Structure 1
Amino acid sequence: MKKRFDRVRTTGTALVAWAVLVGGGLAGGGRATAADTGIERAEAVQVAPGVTYDEFRMRLPRGIVHGHLLTVDLTDPAVSVDLLYPGAASGRAPVSELADAEDVVGAVNGDFFNISETQHPGVEVTGSADGPAVSSGRELKGAVPNGQRFGPVLPPGATTEDVLTVGYDHRARLDRLALRGTVRSAEGSWPLRGLNQYALPVNGIGAYTATWGAASRERAVCGTDTDRRAGCVTNTAEVTVRHGRVAKVGRHPGKGQIAAGSVVLLGREDGARRLRGLHVGERVRISHRLAGQEPGRPLLAVGGFPIVRNARPVGGLDTAAVTVRTSAGIADRGRTLYLMALDGEKGKHQTGLTVRELADLMVRLGAREAMDLDGGGSSTFVSRDPYDDELRVRNHPSNGKERPVANAIGVFSSE
């Protein structure tokens, strides 16, 4: 299918002119007035059964906030949601490319990710996400330490383990996914502290599978649990385990695609000391899972941090930095999912939002829970046009073109 960086204008059959909503509050299932929400919304267009798209505007003293919203009815049997990623946990790709490859009906960018290594000259930059990731029920990666994340400072109480999930029961939730894993050998049993992560905890051991990709693993031993800018350690060890037995023992992080059936164990500090005690041919058992606080296994999990709980903004959200934002919201006890991205078009008196303003906006749109996803130049919103089936980028990414990202939330329809 032809890929296009295009834009649907608010004309003709695509979208009806801006309409001031009338009636009761959105959270109760009705329609809201501009006085209630301060938001003007265009008439929604059905992208697919159970999936609608509309645009909105909100006027602030400093300018106009222009946004794009996908409303997903998770109870519709034709609808499904999954995490899109570029085939490797260390890779990046534009949202439209991820969506077109999977033939989705709509998508927004997902988690914050490692985008720069200026503080570690010579270390390869990976596109790996900060938080846990699950796609089609498959656990892709765990969360980096809080102090290592590339995204903005977390609000009080939030961690890199915070995720938005959609379960096999077709319900969306905010949850936390913690890595639970063990490395067992004749030398002892040690906790596994990482899974396909661009940063490992101090003294930790991480596991890397074919899902990681071909990128270098050197970044994983840089920084500390509290300081991303700290240097890279030299006390490291790397062990390749093939079909349950040690095949290779080395001293430094490697690179290159990991073969199916193999797992690379990378250790730093005390973790390296333990791995150096292993010997070629020795049997090693590696187990891991991402354990949540909510019941059931997630079909999808994407990292970010909570900004709305119980229809109220959480405390301690940033009120200073204004930028383009992306967010996912939940309503109707997990039965409705909102995917929202702001427009980053330059000029036209447009403005972005602070994180606190984003939380207020998601409540006004009807969300009872919401998560902040990666923003700025990463904010991208795509959907298929219901009239010609072309995939289009609906917003203007603030960099003037799409930024390759670590992952995205994709919406599918069997019809």
Structure 2
Amino acid sequence: MTYTCLMNPGGPWLLHVATVDLRNREYTIGGVRAHDRMVGRERVSAMAARLASRGERPVVMINADFFDLGTGEVENNQVVNGRWVKGAVITDSPHDEFDNAHTQFAIDRRGGVHMGRFELHGAVQAGGERQALTGINYRPPRTTGLVLYTPWYGTRTLRDTLARITTQRPRDPDASPTGLPAQARPAPSVSQLRADSARAATLAATREAVEVVLAEEGRRGDTLLYRVRAGSERRGGGTAIPPRGVVLSATGDSAIAFVRRMARRGGVVRVVATLGDPPFTPRMSIGGWPRVVQDGANVGTRADSLEGTFPRFSAARHPRSAIALSRDSTQLMLVVVDGRRPWSVGMSLAELGDALIALGAWQAMNLDGGGSSALWVDGEVVNYPSDPTGERAVGNALVVERRRR
């Protein structure tokens, strides 16, 4: 692993670059969730200290996905050590110009490296029947179907309450089209009001949910195995999630009938959850927004049309964090560009794409930036966070660790 600090007077820009050779078996790449829970925020440096306290050996960490500033919930899919923290078909973002899946970075169970706009592809099989999985620890607005709740979600499934809606604003201000602090933002847009209305409808549907508890049985290849817990069927949400199990929650006539037949029949339940096309089973994944380099070309210039970013987010200069891969996918670069300083003004997405290509990137994606940008190397944050209070507590991070001996 190497760390380099580069000064470019053209901006001016100060870049911090950590490079890892993925062929070096001394290192492993993973993801970290704040406080090891689906909700909550934590500084990258605190995550590193927490990993070290339990005997792990972090070397480099970078902040990752955009997140809800109130709850800390990230917008994209996340998988940690093969376990799903969040799974969604469409990225859970209030700022998109149009609904879409944002760019994500993942490593599969065989060590393959992936970057793309991944959607959750999931299915539940029981008694010769099969139903699609619509979310993991996340119920998509305006959608009925099956949702799997794991211990990452908390102690109980979603209840029929509007409390969750009130915590959905504000999102991370650096992800917003204005980039303003929450108290300085204009009134909610029509799209934001529609999103809240959709969430209200989703939560109202929860009172009709039928849920069943599944005990963990193990894994067979890429298939997760569970067993129906007798007498666990419940209506209306708020089901206790067992430490070694999950809760399968159904809304809509077809999904509810499927779960009720499963509860009566009992037995083994098989769950498959993959990303990508062709599908792969992730060992880790984290999200960002948007892709800025694809096959050696700068696509940051087209982010507004490709992934629904806003001009005041994409064209303005902000502190930036990014992940990049070399052409042969053997070199992983974790990059932070300082911003909002006279000696480093930050970059637009187009400028970020150019800078990463100059560093050797063939594929690259933008991560949460602004005050969230933090690159931790060997015990300290090496960049200069732009918040007046210093390093910001964030939702998740990517970590490079030395393997345990």
Fold shared by both chains (TM-score > 0.5): yes
Matching of residues 308-323 of structure 1 within 5 Å: 308-314=293-299, 316-318=302-304, 319-323=314-318
- SS of the counterpart of 2:119? strand
CA deviation after TM superposition for structure 1 residue 274, in Å: 4.5
Give the one of 81, 90, 94 matched to 1:145.
Answer: 90
Structure 1 residue 52: Cα displacement: 0.5
One-letter amino acid of the counterpart of residue 205, structure 2: N
Q: Cα distance 1:306–1:155, how it changes in 2: closer, same or farther (>3 A)?
A: farther
Aligned to 1:232: 200
Q: Please give the residue correspondences for 1:95-106 in structure 2 after superposition, counting only pairs within 5 Å.
A: 95-102=44-51, 103-106=57-60
Q: Secondary structure at the match of 2:45?
A: helix
Deviations 1:348-402 (A, max 9, x none): 3431222222212211111000011111222111011xxxxxx101122222332
How many Å separate the matches in 2 of 1:294 and 1:68? 34
Quote the Cα distance in structure 2 between the aligned partners of 1:155 and 1:356.
Answer: 20
Give the Cα–Cα distance (whole angstroms) in 1 for the partners of residues 334 and 106 of structure 2: 13
Among residues 385, 393, 397, which one is paired with 1:408 in the alignment? 397
Q: Partner amino acid for 1:327?
A: A
The answer to whether the 8 A contact 1:187-1:277 is kept is no
Cα offset for 1:75?
1.3
SS of match in other structure, 1:100: helix
CA contact (8 A) 1:91 1:213 kept: no
Q: 1:392: which partner in 2? A: 380
Say whether residues 1:80 and 2:28 are aligned partners: yes
Deviations 1:152-201 (A, max 9, x none): 53799x623x3212345655331354333334567965321001226455
Cα deviation, 1:121-180, whole Å, max 9, x if unaligned, reads xxxx3x22222222233333312534x315x53799x623x3212345655331354333
* Seq. identity, %: 27
Instruction: Tell me if the contact between 1:324 and 1:379 (Cα under 8 Å) persists in the aligned partners.
Output: yes
- Structure 2 residue 131 is matched with structure 1 residue 190: yes
- Contact residue 338 and residue 383 of structure 2 kept, 8 A: yes
Greater C-alpha radius of gyration: 1
The structure-2 alpha-carbon separation of the partners of 1:181 and 1:354, relative to structure 1 and needing over 3 Å to count, comes to: same
Give secondary structure in 2 for the equivalent of 1:98: helix
Q: 1:65 aligns with which of 6, 9, 13?
A: 13
Structure 2 CA distance for partners of 1:356 and 1:229, relative to 1, 3 Å:
farther
**Conserved in 1, the CA contact under 8 Å of 2:134 and 2:147?**
yes
Flag the structure with more relative contact order, 1 or 2, with Cα contacts below 8 A and sequence separation at least 6.
2
**TM-score normalized with structure 2 length:** 0.72
Is 1:303 equivalent to 2:303 in the alignment? no
Q: 1:280 Cα shift? A: 6.3
Amino acid at match of 2:200: C
Is the contact made by 2:149 and 2:157 (CA closer than 8 Å) also made in structure 1? Answer: no
**Distance in 2 between residues matched to 1:331 and 1:101, nearest whole Å:** 31
Any idea what SS the aligned residue of 1:341 has?
Answer: strand
Structure 2's unaligned 5+ residue stretches are: 52-56, 169-190, 216-227, 305-313
C-alpha contact 2:327 2:363 (8 A) present in aligned 1: no
Q: Aligned with 1:356: secondary structure? A: helix
RMSD over aligned Cα atoms: 3.5
Structure 1 residues 363 and 53: CA distance shift in structure 2, 3 A: same
Contact 1:111 1:131 in 2 (8 A): yes
CA distance in 2, matches of 1:180, 1:220: 29
Higher helix share: 2
- 1:133 pairs with 2:78: yes
| Number of residue pairs aligned between Structure 1 and Structure 2 | 342
Q: In the alignment, does 2:283 pair up with 1:334?
A: no
**Structure 1 position 382 matched with structure 2 position 376:** yes
| Aligned counterpart for 2:358 among listed residues 359, 364, 369 | 364
User: Counterpart amino acid of 1:300?
Assistant: M
Contact 1:130 1:143 in 2 (8 A): no
More displaced stretch, 213-222 vs 292-301: 213-222
Equivalent position of 2:6 in the other structure: 56
Q: Is contact 2:211–2:239 with CA below 8 Å preserved after alignment?
A: no
Deviation at 1:261, TM superposition (A): 3.5
- TM-score computed with the length of structure 1 as normaliser: 0.71
Q: Is the 8 A contact 2:273 2:281 kept in 1?
A: no
Letter in 2 for 1:341: V
Q: Is the 8 A contact 1:145 1:201 kept in 2?
A: no
Return 5+ residue gaps in structure 1 as ranges.
1-50, 117-124, 385-390
Give the secondary structure class of the aligned counterpart of 1:363. helix
1:107 aligns with 2:61: yes
Q: 1:249 to 1:188 in 2, by over 3 A?
A: same
Q: Which amino acid aligns with 2:96?
A: V
Distance 1:109 1:269, change over 3 A: same
**AA in 2 matched with 1:115:** L
